[in-house]
């Protein structure tokens, strides 16, 4: 390390000093480090270990157990190249308490020559029990000059790495920066000092030193599960940075101008008056919250959560009519063609009697038909536009877009939502945003991933809905399930039969659905059976769905394409094959396709043996509750936030040390700290975001 480095002192020394100032980092190495987001000394400090290895004590070979990661030392008995299924170098060592084999599949002649009989070797790796006895495959090792050489004084940090960057490299770099940190430099404290002192948090310098190089007497399990006070100190700062970035995104949007809309509209009143039912109290409450937002001269940013069948589409339609009555356009985006078509038909049914034009746009719409719809949108002839992500493609031009409605937000992620928002900005106004989801979002995720949105909950189902009874059956009882289908069809009811496969291959999923449909036709010759899967053309899919809605088909065999958006009140039985392969949220969505009428409805979960502990837990939860919010919380704890949010969303929320589940207790504090920084010290807030999110801090900017 250049001596001059330790002499320089600026408040942001670590943030402003490039990593190339460190010993051993040339242009080629800097390029590799950049792939890990390491550009400055600060980036080295905040490239945090994701686990630890305990090399602070030697474990007798005789005391090691299968699956243990341990440091051992022994004398070489033999080393030989063995050719069985593949060529490998096997070395046997012993320490007086037992023997173990070291196995290397990739090795050189000089490496083989290291292991001379009698040489003392110290190695670290995972112990496995094999036909040969105890074995370590590819351990890290050193040939020792003395059996008495000291062991490591601290736990060994393991860092996220990339091709061409080894753990030893990352440890050497962090050694250099930690030396500076302890010697002449302090890393900038960016969280409010009075709050940190009051809560008795360690200083940032102390926390970083501890996490990178835990002392030999550190509580190993506490560090391994991430609950050590030093780790929690860093997690608090990281959560604050993420929360702050979302608050700033929200602030930027709120600073834009939007069209203030009147809370009353003749069109909206006509729609409600013509409904064959009264909106629920929950729908009325959420509508009032939306109206309050729409009256403002800055954009609404509201998330509406409601369980399957709670009536979110009607809430969206009423909001849309407030904008349309004021002379503006509305766009509604859904993640799949089936769900988008469902909304399209609902809006035609509600809006055309009011003299309004609804346009349709999807990626599969081509040629003349597509150009016709684009013309309707650009001219303003189309009051309402419904479609998939095709709505925000470059060629789509809106005349005066004032409201954007997005269904199932977690399927899109922030980027796509904001891309559609920009469509309204060409006219100098930012559209209001209404986001809906039938996948209830646990409070933990709502506080972190959706901090830029206000939240409304429709927590009441329309009258006449009957709770769905869920039954778990083993696949060997398939014939009983087929009898249940026959009985339901004889009573004039309709049935969904959903096929799932663990493979991602759409071809295999479709194949399974086709085979199931053929089998059911053999078992139930008097029943009309249809088949829907992702490889059908949109027109074919729409035709089969239409036949099912009209009651011309009694059983619909499908892949999970029917997960959301399908509404057939006469369907009262849902059969899901291999439910153990789906997440709770998806199972709940599928179950929500039945129970939409007044008839008692059933969901049969037909699983394959053997069932894993996790699979059994999921199915038990489905049997115990119909409450989407309870299911969402359970789903979060079983699968973790990455799975629940979806990759698009979590790709924008990669945490270095924080864990949304483990650190839930820190969320409230991080929220308050973020609000304080935004209001009282925005410059310091920007530095905090830059420290933790780097380029990802721009994920809100499209």
Ordered DSSP codes for 554-565: SEEEE-GGGSSS
Domain limits, CATH 3.40.50.300, in the chain: 266-458, 468-625
Q: Exposed e or buried b for every residue in 606-635, given b needs 16+ CB within 10 A? A: bbeeeeeeebebbbebbeeebebbbbbbbb
CA within 13 Å, CB half, 137? 9
Closest by CA to 36, choosing from 172, 170, 211, 209, is: 170
Closest by CA to 181, choosing from 213, 159, 154, 158, is: 213
Helices 667-680 and 229-254: crossing angle in degrees, nearest 10, is 50
Instruction: Give CA–CA dist 580/311, Å, rounded.
Output: 29
Please report where in the chains the tokens 């013309």 appear, as a residue.
375
Peptide bond into 183 cis (omega under 30): no
Helices 628-639 and 584-591: crossing angle in degrees, nearest 10, is 150
R_g of the chain computed on alpha carbons: 31
Instruction: Give CA–CA dist 678/682, Å, rounded.
Output: 5
DSSP 253-307: HHTS------S--HHHHHHHHT-SSPPPHHHHHHHHHHHHHHTSSS--EEEEEE-
- Quote the pLDDT of residue 583: 81
CB atoms within 10 A of CB 400: 16
Instruction: Give CA–CA dist 304/457, Å, rounded.
Output: 6
Instruction: Give CA–CA dist 55/125, Å, rounded.
Output: 10
Instruction: Give CA–CA dist 450/159, Å, rounded.
Output: 29
Sheet of 329-333, strand order: 358-361, 384-387, 329-333, 401-407, 432-437, 301-306, 454-458
Instruction: Give CA–CA dist 196/194, Å, rounded.
Output: 6
DSSP 190-254: -S-HHHHHHTTPPPHHHHHHHHHS--TTS-HHHHHTT-SHHHHHHHHHHHHHHHHHHHHHHHHHH
Please report where in the chains the tokens 């070395």 appear, as a residue.
91
- Quote the pLDDT of residue 7: 42
What homologous superfamily does CATH list for 57-151? Nucleic acid-binding proteins (2.40.50.140)
CB atoms within 10 A of CB 270: 15
Class of domain 266-458: alpha beta
CA 655 from chain centre, in angstroms, equals 12
- Quote the pLDDT of residue 700: 43
Residues whose CB is less than 8 angstroms from the CB of residue 109 and which lie 6 or more positions away in sequence, other chains included: none
CB atoms within 10 A of CB 679: 10
pTM of the model: 0.73
Instruction: Give CA–CA dist 174/1, Å, rounded.
Output: 12
Under DSSP, the state recorded for 52 is E
Instruction: Give CA–CA dist 499/235, Å, rounded.
Output: 41
Sheet of 494-498, strand order: 468-474, 601-607, 571-577, 494-498, 555-558, 529-532
Angle at 411 between CA 420 and CA 279, to 5 degrees: 80
Please report where in the chains the tokens 């509580």 appear, as a residue.
219
Closest by CA to 6, choosing from 27, 47, 17, 46, is: 17
Angle at 130 between CA 125 and CA 133, to 5 degrees: 85
Q: Exposed e or buried b for every residue in 209-231, given b needs 16+ CB within 10 A? A: bbbbbbeeebeeeebeebebebb
Extract the residue ranges of the chain whose pLDDT is less than 50.
1-3, 6-9, 502-503, 647-652, 698-702
The 10s digit of each residue's pLDDT in 137-159 is 999 899 998 889 998 888 889 99
The 10s digit of each residue's pLDDT in 363-377 is 888 889 999 999 999
Domain limits, CATH 2.40.50.140, in the chain: 57-151
Tell me the two tokens of residue 117. Answer: 């009989």
Instruction: Give CA–CA dist 495/483, Å, rounded.
Output: 12
- Quote the pLDDT of residue 163: 86
What is the CATH number that goes with domain 468-625?
A: 3.40.50.300
Instruction: Give CA–CA dist 255/248, Å, rounded.
Output: 10
Q: Where are the beta strands (DSSP E) in 522-648?
A: 529-532, 555-558, 571-577, 601-607
Instruction: Give CA–CA dist 27/30, Å, rounded.
Output: 5
Instruction: Give CA–CA dist 583/54, Å, rounded.
Output: 35
């Amino acid at each position: 390390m250049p001596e001059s480095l330790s002499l320089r002192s600026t408040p942001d020394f670590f943030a402003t000093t490039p990593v190339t100032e460190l010993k051993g980092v040339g242009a080629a190495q800097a390029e590799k480090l950049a792939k890990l987001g390491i550009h400055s000394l600060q980036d080295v400090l905040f490239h945090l270990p994701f686990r630890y290895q305990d090399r602070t004590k030697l474990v007798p070979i005789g005391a090691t157990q299968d699956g243990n990661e341990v440091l051992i030392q022994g004398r070489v008995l033999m080393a030989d190249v063995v050719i069985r299924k593949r060529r490998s170098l096997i070395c046997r060592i012993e320490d007086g308490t037992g023997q173990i084999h070291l196995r290397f599949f990739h090795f050189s002649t000089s490496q083989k020559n290291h292991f001379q009989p009698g040489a003392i070797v110290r190695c670290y790796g995972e112990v496995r029990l094999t036909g040969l006895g105890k074995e370590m495959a590819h351990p890290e090792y050193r040939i020792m000059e003395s059996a008495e050489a000291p062991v490591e004084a601290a736990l060994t940090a393991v860092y996220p790495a990339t091709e061409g960057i080894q753990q030893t490299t990352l440890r050497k770099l962090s050694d250099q920066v930690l030396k500076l940190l302890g010697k002449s430099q302090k890393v900038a404290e960016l969280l409010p000092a009075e709050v940190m002192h009051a809560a008795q948090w360690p200083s940032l310098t102390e926390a970083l030193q501890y996490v990178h190089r835990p002392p030999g007497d550190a509580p190993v399990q506490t560090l391994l599960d991430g609950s050590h006070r030093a780790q929690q100190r860093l997690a608090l700062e990281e959560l604050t940075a993420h929360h702050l970035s979302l608050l700033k995104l929200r602030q930027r949007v709120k600073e834009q101008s939007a069209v203030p809309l009147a809370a009353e509209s003749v069109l909206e009143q006509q729609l409600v008056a013509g409904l064959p039912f009264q909106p629920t109290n929950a729908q009325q409450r959420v509508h009032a919250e939306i109206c309050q937002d729409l009256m403002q001269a800055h954009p609404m940013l509201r998330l509406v959560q409601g369980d399957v069948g709670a009536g979110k589409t009607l809430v969206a339609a009423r909001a849309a009519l407030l904008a349309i009555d004021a002379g503006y356009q509305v766009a509604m985006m859904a993640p799949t063609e089936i769900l988008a078509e469902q909304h399209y038909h609902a809006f035609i049914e509600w809006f055309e009697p009011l003299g309004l034009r609804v346009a349709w746009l999807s990626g599969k719409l081509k040629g003349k038909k597509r150009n016709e719809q684009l013309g309707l949108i650009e001219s303003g002839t189309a009051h309402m536009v419904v479609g998939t992500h095709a709505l925000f493609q470059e060629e789509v031009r809106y005349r005066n877009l004032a409201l954007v409605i997005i269904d199932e937000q977690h399927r899109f992620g922030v980027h796509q939502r904001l891309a559609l928002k920009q469509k309204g900005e060409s006219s100098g106004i930012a559209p209001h945003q209404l986001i809906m989801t039938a996948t209830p979002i646990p409070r933990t995720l709502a506080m972190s991933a959706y901090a830029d949105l206000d939240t409304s909950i429709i927590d009441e189902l329309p009258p006449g809905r009957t709770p769905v009874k869920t039954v778990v059956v083993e696949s060997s009882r398939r014939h009983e399930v087929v009898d249940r289908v026959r009985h339901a069809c004889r009573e004039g009811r309709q049935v969904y039969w959903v096929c799932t496969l663990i493979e991602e291959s759409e071809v295999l999923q479709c194949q399974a659905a086709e085979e199931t449909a053929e089998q059911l036709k053999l078992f139930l010759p008097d029943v009309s059976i249809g088949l829907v899967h992702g490889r059908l053309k949109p027109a074919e899919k729409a035709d089969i769905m239409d036949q099912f809605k009209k009651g011309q088909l009694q059983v619909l065999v499908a892949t999970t394409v029917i997960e959301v958006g399908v509404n057939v009140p006469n369907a009262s039985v849902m059969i899901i094959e291999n439910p153990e392969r789906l997440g709770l949220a998806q199972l709940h969505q599928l179950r929500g396709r039945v129970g939409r009428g007044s008839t008692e409805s059933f969901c049969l979960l037909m699983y394959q043996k053997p069932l894993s502990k996790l699979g059994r837990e999921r199915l038990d939860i489905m049997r115990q509750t119909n409450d989407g919010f309870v299911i969402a919380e359970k789903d979060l704890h079983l699968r973790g936030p990455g799975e629940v949010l979806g990759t698009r969303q979590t790709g924008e929320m990669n945490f270095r040390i924080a864990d949304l589940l483990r650190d839930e207790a820190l969320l409230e504090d991080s929220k308050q700290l973020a609000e304080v920084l935004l209001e009282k010290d925005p410059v310091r807030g920007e530095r905090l975001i830059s420290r933790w999110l780097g380029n990802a801090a721009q994920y809100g900017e499209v």
